[in-house]
Amino acid sequence: MTTEATATTTPAPGGKRSALEAANLGEDIKGKVFIITGAYSGIGVETAKALLAEGGKIVIGGRNPQLLETFSKEMKDTYTEDQVDGFEIDLGDLESVKKFAEYILSKEYKDIRLICNAGVMNTPKGTTKSGYETQMGINVIGHFLLAKLLVGVTARQIWLSSLGHTMNKSPRIDIELIKKYQGGDLEGYDGWAAYQQSKLGNVLLPKEFAKRYPNIEAVSVHPGAIATNLARHMSVWGMAKFMATKMWELSKNSNGHKGMKSVKVGASTTVTCATLPLEKLVNGGYYEDCGISTESESAKNEEDAKALFDFCEEATMEFQAAK
């Protein structure tokens, strides 16, 4: 498909490539179905637009019905009506996740590419409707259930993680802490520590999905530091403190940290992973700047990946049962 990005003969380097250019460089995706959680916000918007521009079909999952309807209409008006579908999903409510999955299954889509894009960061102390610490519940457990329910019709999973999984010297996943929070004991809660654990979970789980299900390619993505509403839970002071301390810490963990990216550039690694030909995708890999990268040692721990998967399996079992 001819788009504005094809005017460049030499692609921009991965760290500066737009989502649209990344889509141009991928395989032919005409007619392929992409499910994107949180597609009406942040990098989800640019991810959706790039895939639509190349002829893909998107299914938008989001918890705000007004934003869902508005964005769906905008995309249908800009592209074609049959390229856009949508349904409400609240990742913090496992019953809502199940209803969304049932809707997808009723449409009989095949070879779906699931983009686990939605997420929250450094939230105040609290739990989801289903009783899990907010960040673990939304970023990890809700997406796990969705991915598990759709495992039979999914060809590829892309999980949005972050360099944030290396915060605080990259501690390993702590299943006992997840259980403690689930039990309602939030004493000593640290929003950044919980964020690190959730983003670590989003690297570990796709590795385990790739191992357990031969029909699925699964990867995780670090999109980069991007100015989106992901930081909506932070005060001005909190954001200033983050930029002064946490961003500095993360810069030391990154190979050639490049600072803030635009939203269009930030979505490019997701789009790359969604459109790469099978033979070029590193199954279970961790991607940034449109290419394979190196995750922390704690994110490579196979025993932890299995333990987290098994925990999520048990935690969501009642919602996996057929009616």
Active site residues: 189
Phi, psi for 175 (deg, rounded to 5)? -65, -40
SS3 assignment, position 154: strand
Cβ atoms of 115 and 274 closer than 8 Å? yes
Residue 48 buriedness (CB in 10 A; 0-12 / 13-18 / 19+): buried
Task: Compute the CA torsion angle 56, 59, 63, 68 (nearest 10 deg).
Answer: 70
In one letter, which amino acid is 61? G
In one letter, which amino acid is 275? T
Helix crossing, 175-182 with 302-320: angle to 10°? 30
Cβ atoms of 222 and 293 closer than 8 Å? yes
d(C-alpha 169, C-alpha 250), whole Å: 10
- The tokens describing 19, both together, are 């989502």
CA distances from 137 to 161, 316, 318 (A): 14, 11, 16
d(C-alpha 210, C-alpha 151), whole Å: 11
d(C-alpha 168, C-alpha 220), whole Å: 20
Instruction: Using alpha carbons only, give the angle 23, 198, 290 rounded to the nearest 5 degrees.
Output: 20
d(C-alpha 33, C-alpha 267), whole Å: 18
Cβ atoms of 39 and 48 closer than 8 Å? yes
Tokens 């070029």, residue located: 280
Residue 256 buriedness (CB in 10 A; 0-12 / 13-18 / 19+): exposed
